[in-house]
Chain A
């Protein structure tokens, strides 16, 4: 398994080196102010990709515990970004405290000890009932329904959904689960990258100016198909046949697209451009994992239902 993983990571490093090289040439040749700005942003994104690949690749190579801890930290940072932009009232204070310091760690603990039955219902059932109950103790009924919904959405998106990527470690599919995580991340992130590249190259027709002004139909189709192609070619990492890999990649790409789209809609609702600032050129953690929030649970359940023994 180590050889396959090293091979894939080496491939990514070569691609990134190529991207850095192309970026350097483009920066050298750019003359117009707006193209200089675009190329600078592109190169900032590439630099951040180096860091992200090192961090995620390093954690996955280091083993199961490191992977679970890394995703727990990512969830924590994403939840913090969610609540930095989402308004809350004094009456939500204890529900928020519990979200960050009890629900999130316990959910990832359940993942680490591989108690699937509890892992899958803890946030949708127990946190769903517990947190509004705690909030009532503060006696503030102002917008109570909306506030409870926000607390639950924050946990579902940033903790429950994202944790389905490391949850692949629980599955016994005949191939090492770490490879499935890498496969999911490659397809979902390449889909974003390809959509960006195709959109910049030939994008004309805006898909939805209200929600994501940069998304174009050409970018979506070209990027989606490119990512599905790569996902099909990488089928040896997975228990899927080439045809199955194409179908699963399609699920990942479509879900990932709507993940990014829904998270963008929330951002617009909150009048923000980015979720955060921690990843140069990309915005926040939630800007980078937005597609993963939708793609991870679907990929997990498709794999669990059809491909586990």
Chain B
């Protein structure tokens, strides 16, 4: 066995181990409310509560979908050491991007290349793990991807309870069950402004939080399904 295959074998083993661990530790249940798990090219976008959530979404996906879905992770964190890189790139099959890119470069380029090859991605548009119980405003990356690939389905994902499992700043997990809820896909509408689209995308994620009271303000929930 040569070095490359040994590394792949190790990655497969660690990946299975990690997914089994997450399934036991947090349940990683999936509820498909607005779409079905299809291995088509998609952009999954989710709220971000803890380090576990990338693996939680991956564990919640059926393997046919999982094997072609790549989480987008921050290079400044996951590229820090060789171990970080191995976990992110080889085990989780993540694609690393720069959160603070050099002027004139396109930080989303590696993501776009994957989408062009027909792969799916998973992004956390809040950019960083949120501090409180709120879902932060979305950054513009998802808007640019929606512009660049207008025919791709954007699937909102809400991760329940993750913030309670491993809050920011804590190393001690609490084994509460996590559910990943997949909502109805959205697309960029013709002529839709950036702010409107980002607001709509965020509302679609929030609408999947079944514990949240329905907002009084007229938010466009037409694309999301409430169970």
Contact = CB atoms under 8 A, between A and B. Distances in A.
B27 to A, nearest CB: 8
Interface string B129-169: 00000000000000000000000000000000100100100
A90 to B, nearest CB: 6
5 contacts: A84-B27, A84-B177, A87-B211, A93-B174, A97-B173
Contacts of B161: 84
Contacts of A80: 175-177
Sorted nearest first, the 10 A-B pairs with minimum C-beta distance are A84-B177, A96-B174, A97-B172, A84-B176, A83-B176, A80-B175, A97-B174, A90-B167, A93-B167, A100-B175
A81 B179 CA distance: 12
Nearest to B164: A88
A277 interface: yes
Of A93, A100, A277, most buried by chain B (CB within 10 Å of CB) is A93
A131 to B, nearest CB: 13
A223 interface: no
Contacts, number: 32
A94 interface: yes
Nearest to A80: B175
A62 B201 CA distance: 54
Given A93-B174, A97-B172, 20 more contacts: A76-B175, A80-B175, A80-B177, A81-B177, A83-B164, A83-B174, A83-B176, A84-B27, A84-B176, A84-B177, A88-B164, A93-B167, A93-B172, A94-B172, A96-B164, A97-B174, A100-B174, A100-B175, A276-B177, A277-B29
Interface of A: 76, 80-81, 83-84, 87-88, 90, 93-94, 96-97, 100-101, 276-277
B170 interface: yes
Contacts of B167: 90, 93
Contacts of B177: 80-81, 84, 276
A130 to B, nearest CB: 16
A301 B144 CA distance: 67
A276 B161 CA distance: 14
A81 B167 CA distance: 19
Nearest to B177: A84
Contacts of B174: 83, 93, 96-97, 100
A96 B27 CA distance: 17
Most chain A CB atoms below 10 A, which of B27, B161, B167, B177: B177
